[in-house]
Amino acid sequence: MLDPSPHSTRRKGTVADVPPHPAAGPPVAGDSRGRMSTLRYPHLFSPIQLGVLKIPNRVVMAPMSTQLGGSDGRVTERQIAFYRARAEGGVGLIIVEFCCVDRATGLSEHRQLSLDTPAHLEGHRRLVEAIRDAGAVACLQLQHGGAGVPRALVEGGVAVGPSDVRSRRDPSRLTARALTGAQIEYLIDCFGRTAALGVQAGYQAFELHGAHGYLLTQFLSPLTNHRDDDWGGDEERRLRLPRRVIACVKHAIGQRPLSFRLSADEFSPDGLGIEDMVRIAPKLVEAGVDVLHVSMGTGYTGLDKVIDPMSAPEGWRLPYARRIRQAVSVPVISVGQIRWPATAEAAIARGDADMIALGRPLLADPAWAGKARRGDDDDICPCTSCNFCVTSHAGPHGVIGCAENPRTGRELDPPFGSDARCEGSAVVVGGGPGGMATALMLDQAGYRTKLYEARASLGGGLIASAAPPFKDKLDWYRQYLERQLARSGVETATSSHVDAATLIRLRPDIVILAGGARAVRMEIDGIDGENVLDAYDVLMGDARGLASTGAMRIVVYGGGETGCETAEYLAGRGHEVVLVSRSPAEQLARSAEAIYRGVLLKRLFANAQVRIVDRSEIVAIRAGSVTLKDGDGATAEIACDRVLIAQGRRPDDAFAQALKAAGIPFVAIGDAHHGGRIGDAVHSGYAAVSALLEAQRRRAVPG
């Protein structure tokens, strides 16, 4: 879419000893030796030595599966373009996504990268060359999925791991089989062989994935290793496999640095905690590890710690990285919920970490590092932790994506305006995220663009989406779009109710309808009463009818994501809320992104201000109460002061029909076309502008 220091003194302490990390801290004025620097973030952009390897700055691209590879595990041109964009964006070190060391038993995804035979070499050579030529250092992560691999990807549907794992539904059936000693020795050799091929491909550094519940973690953790032999039992025996793999890989890579990615806490009473990892980390270093990459969690017991939801505060993991760093003498990389350069700079200056790994922020803005280096923080397209990237990546056909940056995963597409520019005029109706982003894309493509918004301010659905608790990160994206519009050639008109007659008079070459949707009309006795409000309007800031002080009794009708968020929003303002859902309680917010949904429902069920009444519908609304009917037909009265309806929104096609009748070309995107998420609206805008440019290219080619 939009272009879009040496170790400090070690200090003993606990996670709680470290102060909280604000999203934006003051810039540091000098470098680690006290010299003045012209850089706004001198610690972040100072070089660092990893063994014999010098890295130009402390910004690391974290390994993220892209699913852009071939079905046979080969590197593709799309993948090379994806990594080239991030290298050109200014990161110092790129840790290429996890590479399976044994496709027969260890694949974690359908199109996971592999390097277990020489047939994969050529693609990796081209990938390393692209990263190196763009100014970054290429590191390859080695991984085996172990007992957690998808059953469809292993022969017979039975994975391998440290211990037998039985199906919860059918305890007589094995879903994973314990590896024999000979099989373990074979997999150790697989790590070494892949590392040796990686050296041939030109990788300058390597990383072992020992976090998040993959094979090395499974052997290390008592949560998953239930053996009582040479490979499991006490901590020393559980460490045997990681130590052996470290030694084998070090032998294969020579003096090249080796990183080990670990989970500082598995957040399970049966797993490893921070105190365990403080004790284990030095043992990994003694075994030969040159760098520790501190992540968090395991997919078995808390995916929300592995992939943080929007509610996770900026920099919450840094105290854990600091604890590990205090325990070892090698550089430490911290990853997760670091979104802004000031947070990264302060973390290094304080001694929390030596390097900062960015994952999702580099999906939102590949040029994050370069913009931070120039001090152009306001130009960074922010990651809001919405996890659109997780949902777009899911399944056998999913690929990496980003809600805010639809070019992620499409880096082979020519940037708008680079090879063809449009000379016509465009009108965008609706100043929500889809409309704002599409107006900017049309401007980049060369259109004379005007954006109309009926409300007094831009933002649309972003305002409503950012209103509930713990979703304020979405305001970052709204503010970013507003800044980009102010710098663009787009003419913006707020408080403007444009109609079909206006567009017929203007006769633009293209109209983009991004005007959102309308509330679903419900036939309920009393629904037109003054005590009935629309939940979406309340989240948009229309608080008329709601007391600013003092608790009100409020019924929220609708168990979808909007209804659940509205209930939490109102409870946070001191109101007593009854959330009424026609579905069972276990199906609340069922369309929400899975990781966010899990933490939302956990909060909601624990909220003393919210009472949930499920499997019920409202059949009548009166001035001081509502009448409910449950699935058995029984009725009940609930006293309340206000009723908020959150039963969904649907596209309003009246405008589209008028334009069609007038012969004005238009494209409906986002909620004006089909209800969806912010990323769906932005991506449909990208598709619309891409189609316009493609049509122009075809017209320009002689027949």
- Which residue numbers are catalytic? 214
Residues β-bridged to residue 59: 356
Q: What distances in angstroms separate CA 696 from CA 356, 413, 439, one per listed residue?
A: 43, 15, 18
Sign, CA torsion 149/154/157/160 = negative
Residues β-bridged to residue 174: 166
- Strands (DSSP E) contained in 516-558 are 517-519, 532-534, 553-557
State how far the Cα of 97 lies from the Cα of 118, in Å rounded to an integer. 19
State how far the Cα of 491 lies from the Cα of 514, in Å rounded to an integer. 16
Crossing angle (nearest 10°) for helices 318-327 and 341-350 = 30
State how far the Cα of 317 lies from the Cα of 247, in Å rounded to an integer. 29
Complete DSSP assignment for 60-108: EEPP-----S-TTS---HHHHHHHHHHHHTT-SEEEEEEEES-HHHH--
CB 312 within 8 Å of CB 337: yes
State how far the Cα of 640 lies from the Cα of 531, in Å rounded to an integer. 9
Task: Quote the distance between the C-alpha of residue 516 and its chain's center.
Answer: 24
- Report how far apart the first and last C-alpha atoms of the chain are (Å, whole number): 31
* The Cα angle at residue 607 between residues 602 and 608, in degrees rounded to 5: 150
State how far the Cα of 198 lies from the Cα of 208, in Å rounded to an integer. 13
In the numeric block, which tokens belong to residue 370? 């370069």
**Single-letter amino acid, residue 47:** P
* The Cα angle at residue 531 between residues 528 and 535, in degrees rounded to 5: 85
CB 521 within 8 Å of CB 634: no
Give the contacts of 568 (CB within 8 A, at least 6 positions apart): 468, 469, 600, 603, 604, 607, 610
In the numeric block, which tokens belong to residue 172? 């007589």
In the numeric block, which tokens belong to residue 488? 């663009």
Residues β-bridged to residue 117: none
State how far the Cα of 245 lies from the Cα of 208, in Å rounded to an integer. 9
Half-sphere exposure of 680 (CA within 13 A, CB side): 14
Q: Count Cβ atoms within 10 A of the Cβ of residue 622 and give its class: 0-12 exposed, 13-18 middle, 19 or more buried.
A: middle
Q: Which residue has the tokens 């206006």?
A: 502
- Strands (DSSP E) contained in 127-172 are 137-143, 159-161, 165-166
- Strands (DSSP E) contained in 466-542 are 491-493, 510-513, 517-519, 532-534
> Whose CA is closest to 250, among 184, 206, 187?
206
Task: Quote the distance between the C-alpha of residue 393 and its chain's center.
Answer: 10
Residues β-bridged to residue 578: 555, 611
State how far the Cα of 408 lies from the Cα of 679, in Å rounded to an integer. 12
Residues β-bridged to residue 642: 554
State how far the Cα of 628 lies from the Cα of 613, in Å rounded to an integer. 9
In the numeric block, which tokens belong to residue 599? 């933490």
State how far the Cα of 478 lies from the Cα of 459, in Å rounded to an integer. 6
Sign, CA torsion 499/504/509/510 = positive
